[in-house]
Structure 1
Amino acid sequence: MADTAVAQRSVPHDLHVQPPAPPADRGDLHIEARVYSQIARQAALEVPGVVAHSVTLGSLTGRNLPKALADSDSRHPSIAVEIAIGWPSSAAEVSASVQHHVADVLTRLTGRRPARVDVDVAAVSPSELLLTEEVAEIVAVQQDSPEPVIARHDRTPRSYPAAGLLAALIGLLAVLAAVVIGREYAVAQGHYNSEPWLADAAGWVSGTPWQTWMAVVAIGAIVVGLWLLYNAVRPRARTHRAITAAPGVWTRDTDIARRLSAIALDDDTTVSAGTTVSRGRAKVTVQGQPGSDGAELQERLDDAVSWLESPPKVVLAHRAPPRPPVIAEGAPA
C-alpha cells in the first residue's frame, strides 16, 4: 500500500494574528490633482483611435495631446481631457470610449470614481497604422501592375531659390530707377519744372576729392556682387527625404520630428518629449519617470527612421531622476 505524504504549514501555538486596524486608525490618503491628470492622460492614450499629437512649442504652450486636467476635489475629481483622434476614427465613439476607460482606470488605481470626464477632440491627425497601410497599398499596386504607377524622378523637393527673392528685389530697384530716369527726362524736356537729380549727383561725385570712405564703398560693392553671384548659382537646399518603400513619396523633417516625438510619448515611462531634426541628425529629448533609462526607446526610434532613404542619426537625450530608495519596513527613517 503506497504511502501518501501531506505537507501542512506549521503554525506556532503562541502566534496571534492581529486583525486589521479600523479605517479611522489607518490615516488619510491625499492624492494630488496632477496625479489624476497623469493617470487620465496615460489612460486616454490606451484607447484605440487616440493618437499622440504635438505642435510647435508644445512643451512651452502645453498643447501636446492628449492632455488632461483635474480639479482640486480629492474625493471625486472632475477630469477634462483633450485628445487628438486618428483619421478616419469616429469622434463620438472614441470620446465615449475615452470617458469610460479614463473613469475605470482612475477608479481601479486610486479607488475614487471621478465625478465626470469631459472629452474635447482638439485635433485630427493621420494615424501611424493608416499611413503604413496607404504606403503598403501603393507599393502593392506598383508591384502588380505591368507599368509603374509612380515613377522615380530626379527632381528632389527643394527649398525656394534665394535668387528668386533677389530677382524680385532687383526688379523693384529697376522700377525705381525707371521712375527716376523718367523724371530726369521730363525735367530736361521742360515738362516738369524742378532741379535735376542725376546731373547734380554726377557733378557732386565728379567734383569730390578722393576720401577713405570711397574705398570702403568699393569693397562693399564687390562683396555684394559676389554674394549675389553665389546665390544665383548655389544649389537649393533639400527639404524632404525619400521613403524607400514607396518611390516618388517624400516626407519632411518636420513630419519625422513629429513621428519620433509621438513614438517617445507612447512609451509608458515618458513624461514629455520633443524632437529636433537638422540635416543628418535627429535629437530626441525625453523626460522620463524616475529610474527609467530609455534603452528600449532607442531601438524603436531607430526602427522608425529605417524606412527612409537617407535616415538621420537618432540621438536620444534621456533624462530621468533616480528611483527613490526603498526603505524596509521597520527600518529607521
Structure 2
Amino acid sequence: MTAPANSQTYPVPDDEFFPADMARQAGPHPGTEPRSNPAARWLAIIISILLLSLAGVIARELWYRYQGETYDSWLEPVFELLGSATVNGWAVTIGIFISLLGLWLLITSFLPRGRTHMRVNSPASIWVRPVDVARKASHTTRSEIGGANIRSRADRKRLNVQVEDDGTGTVDQRVAATLSNEFSGLETPPAVSVKVLPQTQSTNPSAKTGADPYAPPQPIDAPYPGPQEIQR
C-alpha cells in the first residue's frame, strides 16, 4: 500500500537541483493505513503517572532531609520491610508475578496496532470503516427489496445481512448479488452472507410499502368545508 498508485516516471532536467539520474514519480500517493491506538498507549500513561507520583514522594523525602526538619518518612518503612523480609513462598510468588508482568509489558510494547479500516480501490487514499459498510449494506438492501426489518453487521472480512422473506424465494440471492456488486470497489471486498428471516406481520405500513418511516406526513386529499358546513 505504500507504493505509489501511478508508477509512471518522467525525466527531470539535468541541473544542479535535479540530477539526470533521478526521476520523479507522478500521480496521487496513497496515505498510510488508519490504525487503532497501540496497546501500550494506556499502559505508558498509567506507568508515567505512577513514576511521577514516585518522583513526588522522593522529592518530599529529599526536601525534609536537607532542611534538617523532623518528619515522618514514607519510604523508610518500605525499605525496612524489604530489608528484613524473609524469603518464603509468598515472596517467590510475588517475584515470579512481577517478572511475568514485566515480560508482558515488554511484549505489549512491540505489538502492532490493529487494522480498523478497509481501503477503497482508488488512486487516492480513501478508507472506510466496517460500520460504514454495514450502514451502506442496510441502505442498499432496503432500496432493493424494501422492508424495515433489515440488520447488517460487518468486519474487515465478512458482511452479514438479515432480511425478511418476501415470498419470492430468491431474496437472499438478489441481496447477495446486489451487495457484492456494491462493494466490488473495495480493495478486498468482504464475503457477503444473507440470512432470511420468517416474514412477520407489522403494524407499520412502511414495512410493506418500503416507504421511509421518517418521512413527514402527507396532506389528506379532502375538500375544505364551506361556510355552510361549519357547525356553529
TM norm structure 2: 0.67
Match of 1:202 in 2: 79
Task: Give matches, 1:96-115, under 5 Å.
Answer: none
The counterpart of 2:126, out of the listed 226, 249, 263, is 249
Shift of 1:303: 1.2
Whichever residue aligns with residue 302 of structure 1, its letter is S
Matched, 1:166 2:43: yes
Residue 317 of structure 1: SS of its match in structure 2?
A: strand
Shift of 1:250: 1.3
Task: Give matches, 1:266-305, under 5 Å.
Answer: 266-268=143-145, 270-290=147-167, 292=169, 293-305=171-183
Mark the CA change 1:201 to 1:300 in structure 2 (over 3 Å): closer, same or farther: same
In the alignment, is the contact (CA less than 8 A) between 1:162 and 1:231 conserved in 2? yes
Gaps of 5+ in 2: 1-24, 201-232
Match of 1:217 in 2: 94
Per-residue Cα deviation, 1:75-125 (whole angstroms, up to 9, x for no partner): xxxxxxxxxxxxxxxxxxxxxxxxxxxxxxxxxxxxxxxxxxxxxxxxxxx
Shift of 1:180: 0.8
Q: Report the structure, 1 or 2, having the larger strand content.
A: 1
Mark the CA change 1:232 to 1:268 in structure 2 (over 3 Å): closer, same or farther: same
The counterpart of 1:311, out of the listed 189, 202, 208, is 189
Whichever residue aligns with residue 129 of structure 2, its letter is R
Per-residue Cα deviation, 1:47-80 (whole angstroms, up to 9, x for no partner): xxxxxxxxxxxxxxxxxxxxxxxxxxxxxxxxxx
Q: Take 1:267 and 1:296, find their aligned partners in 2: how far apart are those partners?
A: 8
Whichever residue aligns with residue 237 of structure 1, its letter is G
Whichever residue aligns with residue 233 of structure 1, its letter is F
Whichever residue aligns with residue 53 of structure 2, its letter is L
Gaps of 5+ in 1: 1-145, 323-333
In the alignment, is the contact (CA less than 8 A) between 2:34 and 2:116 conserved in 1? yes
Q: Take 1:168 and 1:192, find their aligned partners in 2: how far apart are those partners?
A: 35
Shift of 1:162: 2.1
Q: Percent identity?
A: 26
Task: Give matches, 1:1-333, under 5 Å.
Answer: 147-148=26-27, 150-153=28-31, 155-190=32-67, 192-268=69-145, 270-290=147-167, 292=169, 293-321=171-199
Whichever residue aligns with residue 199 of structure 1, its letter is E
In the alignment, is the contact (CA less than 8 A) between 1:151 and 1:247 conserved in 2? yes
Mark the CA change 1:247 to 1:307 in structure 2 (over 3 Å): closer, same or farther: same
Shift of 1:318: 1.7
RMSD: 2.3
In the alignment, is the contact (CA less than 8 A) between 1:187 and 1:195 conserved in 2? no
Whichever residue aligns with residue 316 of structure 1, its letter is V
In the alignment, is the contact (CA less than 8 A) between 2:40 and 2:108 conserved in 1? yes
Of structures 1 and 2, the one scoring higher in RCO (CA 8 A, sep 6+) is 2
